[in-house]
Structures are given as C-alpha cells and as structure tokens.
Chain A
Amino acid sequence: MLTIESGGDGIVVVRGRLDAAQAAHAQGFLDKVSGTVTLDVAGLEYISSAGLGVLLKTQKRLLGGAGKLRLAGVSPHLRDIFVYSGFDQLFEIEPAR
C-alpha cells in the first residue's frame, strides 16, 4: 500500500510501495503541490517505472513554474534505479541518513 501526505515546510512524505496500481493515487496528490517540494522517500519501500513516471511528470510541471522536486532519504536500491534511469541527473538527490 501507499501513503502520501504533506509533512509541512514544503515536505511531502511518501511511504510504502509506489507501483503501477498506486501511481494514479500518487499523481493525484502531487498534481496539487507547487513551488519547491522535498519528497521524503525514506519510507518508500519500492518504486516501479510507473512511479518514476509520476515523479517525472511532477518535476516537469514544477520546473515550468520555477519550482522543483527534491528527493530526500534515498535508499541504495532506489538510488540504483535513479542512476540506471538517469533520474539522478533530473533530481537533486539526498541519500538516506
């Protein structure tokens, strides 16, 4: 399952699994954010290409409005996926502490 909610101070916390079945739910939430947003993915266990699509679409929209999406708390597995997909070039990535 997936939970996505605002943590205050421009932080959005996402937890669980961002797969094809949950992509629409996440997209619906992120379509409403604006400005510079930090997405805390420390609790994100899993992401598929459908989830990457959500992040990409959000990033494109925010960059158009002089904002951006930053990723924080990136686990080694997620980092592998971001590197293999070139997303490390598209997002500021802050590893998990």
Chain B
Amino acid sequence: MDDRASRHRLAAEDLEAILGVTTALAQPFDLTTMLAEVVNAAKQVLKADRGSVWLYDAGRNELVLEVATGASAIRVPATAGLVGACAQSRAIINVPDCYADARFDPRVDRESGYRTRCMLTLPLIDHRGALVGVMQVLNKAGGVFDAGDEMLAAALAAQCAVALQRVRMTEALIEGERMRQELEMAREVQMSTLPSQMPAVPGYDVFGVSRPAEQTGGDTFDLMPTEGGLVVVLGDATGHGIAPALSVTQMQAMLRMAFRLGADLPTAFRHVNDQLAATLADDRFVTAFIGVLDPLTHRFEFHSGGQGPILHLSAATGACTSHPPTSFPLGAMPLAKLRPSVTLDMRPGDVALLITDGVYEYHDPDGEAYGEGRVEAIARGHGARPMAELAARILADVEAFARGAPQQDDVTLVLVARAPATAVGRFARRVDVLPALFAFTAAFFADHEVDAALLSPVDFAIEELFTNMVKYGRPGGDEVELALARIAGGVDVALTDYDVEPFDPTRAPDADVTLPIEQRSPGGLGIHLTRRLVEGLDYRYIPERREARITFRKTGDPTRRGGA
C-alpha cells in the first residue's frame, strides 16, 4: 500500500476527489449529461478552468466534439492537432505554454476571446484498451499542470473512459430495445386488423388464420361481408421489419374503405394499387388476392396482384385447379391496363384455398420447399371437413415437414368452402320402403351430378345395412335416417338408427366364397360385398342416445376401394 501510494504520489485529498467524481459518473444514462459530468470531474480534480471531451468515432476514424444544443458537432480527423496527436500516441500531452506549441490552433481563442495558457490533453481508454475519446483541460488555477496532475489525470481518465463507454453501450441497447418495441407494436397493429371472428356466410364455411414469423413478414387477411358479397383479402407485403406490417395495414384499410363506398372489384383493385404505388417506397409492394364471393350465385370473382397459386378444389371431380395471379403485385407501379378478373364457380363442396408463400416456401432442413402438391393432397383428403380443421391439418403437416426448421416468413391461410350438397330422408323400418329409398338416392345422384355408375354399389350398401337394421332393430320403432352428402368424386352416406341396442354389422366375418355350392348360403354375403363395393365403412354407437350410425363413402377412385 505504502509503496503504491508513494509511486503514484496521489494525495489523500486527490483520491477523495476522484472517488467523489466516480460516484457522480455512475449516475447518468445519457451521453450529454455524462459528457458534462466528465468535464466537471476533470475541472474539479485538476483545478482547471475549462475542459472538453472529444469522442472517438472508430467507424470514420474521427474525433467528435459535441457542442451546445442545436449546433452540429465538430468533427476532425483523428490525426489532426493536439487531440489527434493524443489519439495517435494514446499518451498524455502536457503543454505548459500553448502559444509556444506549433500544434496549438489559436483561432478558437480569437473567436471566443478566451486565452488558453496551458493545456493537458489525455486519451480516454476503456478497460478493454479501446480508445473512447480525448479529454482536454485548460488553464490550471494558479499555474501550469505538473507531473502530479498528469498522474491524477491518468487515474481520472480511466474512470471517465469506462463511464462514457457504459453510456454508449446503454444507448445502443436502448436503441435496440426501442426498435424491438416499435417492431412489436407494428406487428400488434398488423395483427389487430385481422378478423377476430369468422363471418357467418349462409351456405359457406370460411376460415382464416395467420401465424406471424418472429422478426419479419407482412401477411394479412380480411373477410368482410358487404352488400355485394363477402370480400376476401389475402396479402403479403415485401421487406423486413416494421415497413411490411405498415404496408399491409394501409392496404387493408384502403380496401375496406373502397368496398364500403360501394366500389366494384376492378375499381377497388385499380385504385388501391395506384394509391399504394403513389405512397409506398419504390422498393415496396404487396402481393394480394382480392376476391368477392356472392353466396347467392356462388360466383367467387377475384383479382390477384402477384398472389398465387390460387387453388380451387372441385368436390365433384376431386381435381384441384391452380390459378396464377391476374396482375403484378399491388403498389409496384400504377395500372395502365387491368386484365379481366377470374371467377371461380363454387359448386357444392368446392373449396378455394388462398395461402401465402410462407406455406409453399417453407423449407425443411434439407432445403426442400413444402410446395403446392402437399396442400392439394390434404385438400383432396379432407376438403369435406370443417375449414378450421382443414387449416389445422395443413399447418400441422407443414410443421411435421419442417422437422424443426424455423419459420422464416408469415404463414397465412384463408379457406372458403361451399357447403356440400346434402339430403336427409327418414324411412320407416320396413323392407317395403326400399323403392322409396332407391328413389331418394337416384334423385340425389341426378340433382348433384354424381357419377351414375356409383349408384348401384351405393344402393347395394344402403340396402344391406338398412335391411340389417330392419332385421335386428326394434320392430315398429323409429324411422331410420339416411343422409347423403356430395364429396370429391362421389358421395358420403350415413345411416342412423335410433333407440337401438349396439350391433355392429361391419365386424361380421367375411363369407367363405370358395365353398362348394352345397355348403354355400346367402348369409353374410351382404356385408361381405358391401365391404368390397364401398369405402371407409364405419360403425359408431352413441350409448347416451342409443343411436347407431353407419357411414361409408363411394367415389370413382378405384384406389380407394375398401376391402380385399
């Protein structure tokens, strides 16, 4: 202790002064206050009349002097004058008589009327050895700066450097946090514009969902009932950060206003495009599907600015048609000419799938994209299910496909399904109602254009299951309900028997069809054949309601035939 104290020759009062300013230096969190504190500390400890701090801008290799508020900072190369020499040498420069030193620039004195006698210039170096800036103190009270002052200044400079560096890092952190908060806020605004609940459209099931990526992305969707029908919007703005969130929010607001004012589709599309072209930055645009669904005529007319593919699943054929966009992305440039819109003819059970590239271009760890084919396959298999379920299935499949690969872009789906064609009939539990039953199925096939070749196997299965219910159900009891629904490429059948004991005919064993004729009997052939003629034969019993329901499907797809 003694040795160190003597070597530094710091008086106890000097140490106290440094400790005092160290406390003051611990307080400020902004650079302006901190600079003032550092200058004050230097003046106080070194008994100097004036002081200033130049900050080092490593990026430009310049020294920067912040001056009074309102004026722009003074910048000098980090090699010029006394401060430059100090920054270069990283050593204290003690000039007892400035006017005798060639490096001194007397112009400042002439302008301010102040007379600089002596000057101490010292580097501010932080604990990691990096140059933070250069401090200058002028005119020691009652003399010039001596070797003791230099020692004191060095001790003080280390404190000041660390304090300044702390403030600079804090400011950088605050700036980062501010950016993050702004981004979060913009995302919140973007998400808050999404419909909170799905509109009820008679005869339709519409569902939208958007899963934002963590940092970037600008997806939106809208489902807005208007007098002209349901306005359906799916948008995806380019870019990263806050801008895309703002772009799509802007577009959505414009579209809502346009349709509220009664604009038709081409007018709304054209004007929103031109307005976005005028207001968005040159490198920004929004890909957007804008459609109007008329639930009375079942026409779903759309324009798409760069948003595609637009998938249309036909329930009747099971085919998925992929439509390209009708135009370039919105806001890219004003529209000189608009190509005609496209109209989807929504037949019973049809599904329109509007999905952003966050799904199609989701990459697995091997770099393979999810693609259109996978979406189509799920749509074909589950297009008759509620749209919320179909969306969940697609999202789950994307997640499984990704095998943990992070979501890089917003993922948004809007699914629009026309209710499948259905018919429900009730039939007395007697065999002589079979003609009425067959008339019912024949009428349904004709009304909904189901392939006539499927009628016989469907009738066969219905007859077998129905006569089973007649044989084993409660005689004279309730009627049996037959419900038919049009599905992709065929028909879905449900037979419901009420107030019965559980009896599952679908578990009956196959008939042995290889026996010689003497041993053959017609028993068991009905279910045996039903299993082979239709698909997905399934029995459910609900004990609370004493209700037995048998369902099956029949489609023209030969690969889907159930049984052997």
Contacts and interface: CB of A to CB of B under 8 A. Distances in A.
Interface of A: 1, 17, 19-21, 45-50, 52-53, 56-57, 59-60, 63, 77, 80-81, 84-87, 89-90
Interface centre among A20, A57, A87 (most CB of B within 10 A): A20
A81 B529 CA distance: 7
A56 B514 CA distance: 14
Interface string B424-450: 000000011011001000000000000
A46 B245 CA distance: 62
Contacts of A46: 438, 456, 459-460
Contacts of B526: 48-49
Interface of B: 431-432, 434-435, 438, 453, 456-457, 459-460, 463-464, 467, 511, 513-515, 517-518, 520-522, 525-526, 528-529, 532-533
A21 B431 contact: yes
Given A20-B434, A50-B467, A85 B511 contact: yes
Given A48-B460, A48-B526, A81 B517 contact: no
SS of B interface (majority): helix
Contacts of B431: 20-21
Nearest to A90: B517
Contacts of B432: 21
Contacts, number: 76
A52 B525 contact: yes
Contacts of B456: 45-46, 77
A86 B434 CA distance: 26
Contacts of A21: 431-432, 434-435
Contacts of A47: 460
B435 A1 contact: yes
B453 A19 contact: no
A77 B554 CA distance: 14
A19 B434 CA distance: 8
A49 B522 contact: yes
6 contacts: A46-B438, A48-B467, A50-B463, A56-B517, A56-B521, A81-B460
Nearest to A21: B434
Contact of B517 (A19, A50, A63): A63
In the A-B complex, list the 7 residue pairs whose CB atoms are closest, starting with the nearest. Answer: A86-B513, A53-B522, A49-B526, A21-B434, A49-B525, A84-B532, A48-B463
Contact of A19 (B463, B518, B520): B463
Name, among A53, A59, A85, the residue most crowded by chain B CB atoms within 10 Å (CB to CB): A85
A84 to B, nearest CB: 4
B513 A85 contact: yes
A81 B456 CA distance: 10
A66 to B, nearest CB: 14
Contacts of B453: 77
B464 A48 contact: yes
Contact of B522 (A52, A63, A81): A52
A1 B432 CA distance: 11
Given A77-B456, A84-B533, 15 more contacts: A46-B456, A48-B460, A48-B464, A48-B467, A49-B522, A77-B457, A80-B533, A84-B528, A84-B529, A84-B532, A85-B513, A85-B525, A86-B515, A86-B520, A90-B517
Contacts of B521: 56
A64 to B, nearest CB: 10
A27 B525 CA distance: 18
A80 B530 CA distance: 11
Contact of A49 (B457, B464, B514, B518): B464
Given A20-B467, A77-B456, A77-B457, A49 B438 contact: no
A80 to B, nearest CB: 7
A29 to B, nearest CB: 18
B455 to A, nearest CB: 9
Contacts of A52: 522, 525
A88 to B, nearest CB: 9
A44 to B, nearest CB: 10
Contacts of B518: 60
A34 to B, nearest CB: 18
Contacts of A59: 517
A53 B511 CA distance: 13
B528 to A, nearest CB: 7
Contacts of A56: 517, 520-522
Contacts of A87: 513
Nearest to A53: B522
Contacts of B515: 86
Given A60-B517, A81-B460, A17 B438 contact: yes
Contacts of B520: 56, 86, 90
